[in-house]
């Protein structure tokens, strides 16, 4: 699989273990974007000439590709955004919260599924409520929902623990009180087969760049009725129907949420990336990686990973020193707060280290990592 990823041709010595932050791109994605730029590039929606019609068709085909990937019932339920963060901010800012409305979250969320809700709550007088966490950092089944709950926003798969949330009971309880459910799929989309209809959720957000596609493109899936509850945030070309000096009418979703010339190069790349992802087979590296880490004294694994993503701390070794040491041996791992400060605090850490594997990783990568990790611990441990 590595041979399909040019980064490893240019850097054969690289051991890349940070795919949860961003995944490298296969030839097919790079080629599709290059091909588009070289042969089919033009603006979309606005012109009658051939290349523009073709570019518009490709943009629509990309939207249909995402619909298929998520098993959404209609292509109009797919909104192109800049990424997961952008998608969640869109819902948080566009939802008509009233003072006293409740937004239910948990402390395991990535900052992208936390800070936008804090902002919305502060601006509209809504109240944040918290789903308690179990000792391993997973959501407890005690849900603080009430008739005032408007939205429950949870991650499908944690970027710290790698644990998958049990969405079914949560969705069922949310339905009872008439609340909408938004799921942050930034990590899950690259690893799980996502069926938004089977999940019964209202919004699903994910990023192209973690799914082997380009940066700057992501998706907000919104069930038709849910999208109709949001008001457009940005005005401009493409999102309008009729425009007068004093007022305008808007396009229906999804176009009313996509003001301006869209990221069509990104959309073309995303379509191919999702096709690649749907046929790619992940090597089974989670169990061997856990086994390697468990053998190393002083390693503490945070949570119970279910996707190939493991966050850990090491007694007496600062994660940032460790990352520097590994980098000097061409091994890339993620360290720091992992954009999840409340969850790291819950685990009693300020910083942690994380390895995450993509379709291109191998057992040899893990062995090399484990060997250099042991060396690093010997040198760095205080």
Ligand X SMILES: Cc1ncc(COP(=O)(O)O)c(C=O)c1O
Q: Which of 202, 161, 164 is nearest to 181 (CA)?
A: 202
Euclidean distance between CA atoms 23 and 11, whole angstroms:
15
Name the residue nearer to ligand X (CB basis): 101 or 109: 109
Number of Cβ within 10 Å of residue 83's Cβ equals 23
Name the residue nearer to ligand X (CB basis): 85 or 311: 85
Does the footprint of ligand X cover residue 84 (CB under 6 A)?
Answer: yes
Q: Residues 18, 77, 184, 202: which binds ligand X (CB under 6 A)?
A: 184
How would DSSP label each residue in 275-313? HHHHH------HHHHHHHHHTSTTEEE-S--SSSEEEEE
Q: Residues 83, 116, 162, 305: which binds ligand X (CB under 6 A)?
A: 83
Contacts of 330 (CB under 8 A, 6+ apart): 11, 13, 14, 15
Place of tokens 């989309």: 189
- In the numeric block, which tokens belong to residue 107? 């402390």
Binding window for ligand X (CB under 6 A); candidates: 66-74, 106-114, 196-204, 341-349: 106-114
Q: Report the half-sphere exposure of 363 (CA within 13 A, side-chain side).
A: 4
CB of 298 to ligand X, least distance (A): 26
Name the residue nearer to ligand X (CB basis): 65 or 214: 214
Binding window for ligand X (CB under 6 A); candidates: 11-19, 80-88, 242-250, 359-367: 80-88
Q: Residues 89, 106, 138, 159: which binds ligand X (CB under 6 A)?
A: 159
Strands 352-356, 309-314: pairing kind: antiparallel
Cis peptide, bond prior to residue 99, ω within 30 of zero: no
Does the footprint of ligand X cover residue 303 (CB under 6 A)?
Answer: no
Name the residue nearer to ligand X (CB basis): 299 or 339: 339
**Catalytic-role residue among 157, 256, 339, 349:** 339
Angle between helices 319-327 and 363-380 in degrees, nearest 10: 120
Binding window for ligand X (CB under 6 A); candidates: 46-54, 77-85, 191-199, 353-361: 77-85
Q: Residues 106, 149, 155, 311: which binds ligand X (CB under 6 A)?
A: 155
Name the residue nearer to ligand X (CB basis): 67 or 209: 209
Q: Residues 25, 110, 150, 223: which binds ligand X (CB under 6 A)?
A: 110
CB of 312 to ligand X, least distance (A): 17
Does the footprint of ligand X cover residue 161 (CB under 6 A)?
Answer: no
The answer to whether residue 339 is catalytic is yes
Binding window for ligand X (CB under 6 A); candidates: 82-90, 194-202, 272-280, 289-297: 82-90
The stretches of the chain forming alpha helices (DSSP H) are 6-10, 27-35, 50-70, 84-94, 115-124, 167-177, 196-199, 224-228, 264-279, 286-294, 319-327, 341-346, 363-380
- In the numeric block, which tokens belong to residue 326? 């590994």
Does the footprint of ligand X cover residue 186 (CB under 6 A)?
Answer: yes
Q: What CA–CA distances, in Å, run from 82 to 66, 73, 171, 215, 229? A: 14, 22, 26, 8, 21
Residues binding ligand X: number (CB under 6 A): 14
Contacts of 221 (CB under 8 A, 6+ apart): 66, 70, 72, 77, 78, 79, 196, 203, 204, 205
- List binders of ligand X among 195-214 (CB under 6 A): 207
Q: Residues 138, 149, 161, 187: which binds ligand X (CB under 6 A)?
A: 187
Does the footprint of ligand X cover residue 19 (CB under 6 A)?
Answer: no
Name the residue nearer to ligand X (CB basis): 65 or 185: 185
Residues with catalytic annotation? 339
Q: Which residues bind ligand X (CB under 6 A)?
A: 21, 83-85, 110, 112-113, 155, 159, 184, 186-187, 207, 339
């Amino acid at each position: 699989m590595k041979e399909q990823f040019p980064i490893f041709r240019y850097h054969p010595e690289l051991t890349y273990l940070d795919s949860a932050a961003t995944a490298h791109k296969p030839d097919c994605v790079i080629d599709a974007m290059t091909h588009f730029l070289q042969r089919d590039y033009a603006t979309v929606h606005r012109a009658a000439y051939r290349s523009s019609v073709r570019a518009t068709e490709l943009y629509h085909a990309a939207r249909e590709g995402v619909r298929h990937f998520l098993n959404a019932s209609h292509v109009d339920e797919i909104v192109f955004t800049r990424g997961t963060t952008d998608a969640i901010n869109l819902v948080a800012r566009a939802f008509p919260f009233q003072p006293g409305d409740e937004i239910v979250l948990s402390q395991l969320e990535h900052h992208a599924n936390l800070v936008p809700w804090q902002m919305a709550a502060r601006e509209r007088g809504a109240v944040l409520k918290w789903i308690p966490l179990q000792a391993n950092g997973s959501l407890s089944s005690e849900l603080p929902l009430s008739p005032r709950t408007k939205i429950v926003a949870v991650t499908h798969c944690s970027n710290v623990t790698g644990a998958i949330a049990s969405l079914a009971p949560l969705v069922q309880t949310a339905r009872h009180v008439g609340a909408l459910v938004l799921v942050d799929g930034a990590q899950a989309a690259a690893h799980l087969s996502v069926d938004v209809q089977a999940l019964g959720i209202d919004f699903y957000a994910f990023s192209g760049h973690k799914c082997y596609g380009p940066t700057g493109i992501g998706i907000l899936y919104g069930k038709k009725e849910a999208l109709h509850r949001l008001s457009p945030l940005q005005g401009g070309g493409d999102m309008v129907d009729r425009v007068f000096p004093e007022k305008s009418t808007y396009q229906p979703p999804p176009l009313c949420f996509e003001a301006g010339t869209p990221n069509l190069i990104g959309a073309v790349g995303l379509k191919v990336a999702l096709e690649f992802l749907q046929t790619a087979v992940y090597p089974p590296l989670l169990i061997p990686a856990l086994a390697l880490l468990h053998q190393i004294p002083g390693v503490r694994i945070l949570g119970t990973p279910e996707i190939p993503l493991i966050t850990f701390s090491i007694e007496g070794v600062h994660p940032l020193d460790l990352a520097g040491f590994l980098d000097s041996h061409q091994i890339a791992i993620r360290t720091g707060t992992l954009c999840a400060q409340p969850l790291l605090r819950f685990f009693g850490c300020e910083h942690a280290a994380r390895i995450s594997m993509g379709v291109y990783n191998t057992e040899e990568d893990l062995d090399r990592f484990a060997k250099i990790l042991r060396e690093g611990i010997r040198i760095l441990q205080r």
